[in-house]
Amino acid sequence: MEINFGASAPYTVGVEEEFQLVDPGSLALTPKIEAVLAARDAAGLSAETVASELSASCLEVRSPVCATVPELTGELSAARSRVRKLVEGCGARLAAAGTHPFSDSVEQEITADERYRQVEERMGWTARMQAIYGLHIHVAVPDAEHAIRAVSALSQHVPLFLALSANSPFWNGRDTRLASVRAKVFELVPRSGLPPAFGGWRDFERYVDTLIRARLIPDYSWCWWDARPHPKLGTVELRTPDAQTDVARTASLAALAQCLVATADQYVSEDPLLTGENKWNAIRYGLDARFHDFSTGVSATARETAWTLTEELTPVSQDLGCKTELEGVLEIVEGGTGAEEQRRLFAERGALEDVTAHLVAATA
């Protein structure tokens, strides 16, 4: 296992955003990834920054490593502008949300890449369900043990990240009554959901080595938990959030993750089974969820939790230079989630095509 913790400055940050490729006429998903990748190569863009994913109607855009979240915000905005032009030149449009409002997931093509063919072979129908779109946040850590503590800290706050980022209420043309159906669909994948409560780095290594020796996985990257160590990149990776339509919300979630990783030593590991109860409430109700503190017996709403945590993290956000972006978490609390906005638009206009058109127009 290649380990690069400490190779970059602690708490540098980067993200991977998964975008929908949408037909400009029907607004349905379109499997244009090969055309987009060919255009990428012709434009001289790096395969490290613009890449494919499992679904041929998904485009992944990776930011550079950034010292601060404000720097990251600028990079994300510029990347969206470049990629939008690239995609439009291929006869498609770009949209950011956790799921497409009406396209049938199982009808989407799988990308013609060996890794994804392996995924389809091993997972069967489960792989066909994964036309979903997430936001992955990477934060660099100084060493392997800090990585385990940071994964634990992020895991405890997975319910809040889900509540804040919920942006996938519709699935195959129906309102699921969930705030994030993407989160439940992804749980069909093996080694997904909340990570085990590892006692230290050696526990993680033993777990991965055991699965590799058993030929169940080729490497650790086949552990797709909500939060995981990423030793090759020297980071911890939060995989919980839905893709965000507004880049400012991506930045706010990145700031929250960065602050939690920087203060990971302050958190005591929690039983994933208990955290899972709060995670379900977030998937179902978004910011209207109630979270239970199993150590104190006290419950609070997701909104109250966000206010409290933002206040607690303000000092470290000042140190990291992301205070403004962290305060954007409270703007999400006040303005509502992407799922709420999608439902509001559908109630007003009565057509999921109108919801999709909004996502295309607002992905900026």
Distance CA 163, CA 168 (A): 11
Of 227, 274, 239, 249, nearest in space to 339 by CA: 249
What is the value of pTM for the model shown? 0.96
What residues pair up with 19 in beta bridges, in sequence order?
Answer: 59
Question: In this structure, what token pair is assigned to residue 36?
Answer: 């987009």
Q: CA 149, CA 266: separation in Å to the nearest integer?
A: 9
Q: Which residues of 187-224 are buried (b: 16+ CB within 10 A; e: fewer)?
A: eebebbbbbebbeebeebbebbeebeeeeebeebebbb
Q: What per-residue confidence (pLDDT) applies to 263?
A: 98
Q: What are 41's two structure tokens?
A: 């190569």
CB 100 within 8 A of CB 20: yes
Q: How far is Cα 233 from Cα 10, in angstroms, rounded to an integer?
A: 12
d(CA 310, CA 289): 18
Query: Domain ranges in the chain?
Result: 13-362
Distance of CA 329 to the CA centre of its chain: 16
Contact present, 142 and 5 (Cβ < 8 Å): yes
Q: Which of 175, 185, 59 is nearest to 125 (CA)?
A: 185
CATH architecture of the domain with range 13-362: 2-Layer Sandwich (3.30)
- The C-alpha atoms of residue 113 and residue 53 are separated, in whole angstroms, by 9
The dihedral formed by the CA atoms of 275, 277, 280 and 282, expressed in degrees to the nearest 10: -60
Q: What is the rounded CA–CA span in Å between residue 188 and residue 309?
A: 30
Which residues, listed in sequence order, are joined to residue 139 by a DSSP beta bridge? Answer: 13, 236
Compute how many other C-beta atoms are within 10 angstroms of the C-beta atom of residue 229.
29
- Quick: pLDDT tens for 99-136: 999 999 988 888 888 888 888 888 888 888 889 999 99
As to burial, measured by CB atoms within 10 angstroms (0-12 exposed, 13-18 middle, 19+ buried), residue 286 is buried
The pLDDT assigned to 123 comes to 86
For the segment 292-324, what is each residue's pLDDT rounded down to a tens digit?
A: 988 888 899 999 999 999 999 999 999 999 999
Q: 162-176: buried (b, 16+ CB within 10 Å) or exposed (e) per residue?
A: bbbbbbbbbbbeebb
Per-residue pLDDT for the chain (364 aa), expressed as one digit of tens each? 899 999 999 999 999 999 999 999 999 999 999 999 999 988 888 888 999 998 999 999 999 999 999 999 999 999 999 999 999 999 999 999 999 999 999 888 888 888 888 888 888 888 888 899 999 999 999 999 999 999 999 999 999 999 999 999 999 999 999 999 999 999 999 999 999 999 999 999 999 999 999 999 999 999 999 999 999 999 999 999 999 999 999 999 999 999 999 999 998 888 899 999 999 999 999 999 999 988 888 899 999 999 999 999 999 999 999 999 999 999 999 999 999 999 999 999 999 999 999 999 999 7
